[in-house]
Structure 1
Amino acid sequence: MTTRSRDTRTDLLLAAERSFAHKGYAAVGINEVLSSVGVPKGSFYHYFNSKDAFGEAVIARYFEQYLAEMDEILNAADQDWGARILAYFASWRASQSFGDCEGKCLAVKLSAEVADMSEPMRLALRAGTTQIVDRLEHAITGAVGDGSAPFTGDARSTAEALYQLWLGASVMAKVHRSLAPVDTATAVTRQLLGI
């Protein structure tokens, strides 16, 4: 009988992602994460040099997963690009929760908190969000090309504006405990792209 060997580093990253998404970065202690996966305190530095390096790794892993899911939505060959863009934002809307986003809104949760606190984490957030904007720009260009979005503006600046709109709408949805801000973001997205 074979047993699957435990990947402690991945277990730590997953536990931290859930905790950071729920409580934020500063409110989560390393001991809390270690005890949640049954790892002795002395083992932490075997995997990570510091809490910032740990946070950076959590963010990098989060974006790796997020971008894979985004690619799956945006590469749906059975839909035109306009429909793919709307499907992506519908998925974003569905991931919003007021109590616990289960790690699906980590960028929303951490962006404002760590941008001034940790340069490595800020750079990891910037790298991840830039990749999201890159994909949105590609999708907008595709929608213009296939005629599903009669849009005439600059694809890059529009992709940046849409991401910023949705990030802000997600924060406001949490403040108001209502999906109305993301519903407004959906309407503005449709209007802006002409979808």
Structure 2
Amino acid sequence: VKHYIENYQLRLNELWAESPASPQSSTAQSAYNKLINYFSLWINDPLTSCGWADTCLVVKLAAEVSDLSEDMRSIMAHGVENLIARVSELIQAGKIDRSISIQGDTFANAQVIYQM
């Protein structure tokens, strides 16, 4: 589980890395586009036959792990907290670059988005 979460964070690093929106453009992707790209991959990853949701160990193991292993539960909880914090940072960046218009606390909004 720990390896899976570390690998997931690396995939997010690659996905959200500062890079031009297209080879012809010198403009970096907006925070909104980065967030939309993440959710698109969650549904359908063109590199695989499914989306990230279909292979998410946190989703698949959450109920079983919570009762069986405190260490695994803690690792998974930390991974989820880290993801929510990163989404929150992206929402904040979107407020700054004006690609995301959202009211309220960015962390609370990220929690709601994660739970959807």
CA RMSD of aligned residues (A): 1.8
1:136 positional shift: 0.3
Aligned pair count reads 103
Aligned to 2:10: 68
CA contact (8 A) 1:81 1:142 kept: yes
Q: 1:112 pairs with 63, 66, 81, which one?
A: 63
* Unpaired runs of at least 5, structure 1: 1-58, 166-195
Tell me the amino acid that sits aligned with residue 149 of structure 1. I
Tell me the amino acid that sits aligned with residue 142 of structure 1. A
Superposition TM-score, scaled by structure 2 size: 0.81
Aligned to 2:23: none
Q: 1:153 to 1:77 in 2, by over 3 A?
A: farther
- Of structures 1 and 2, the larger Rg is shown by 1
Structure 1 segments of 4 or more deviating over 6 A?
none
CA contact (8 A) 1:115 1:122 kept: yes
Superposition TM-score, scaled by structure 1 size: 0.49
Tell me the amino acid that sits aligned with residue 70 of structure 1. L
CA contact (8 A) 1:137 1:158 kept: yes
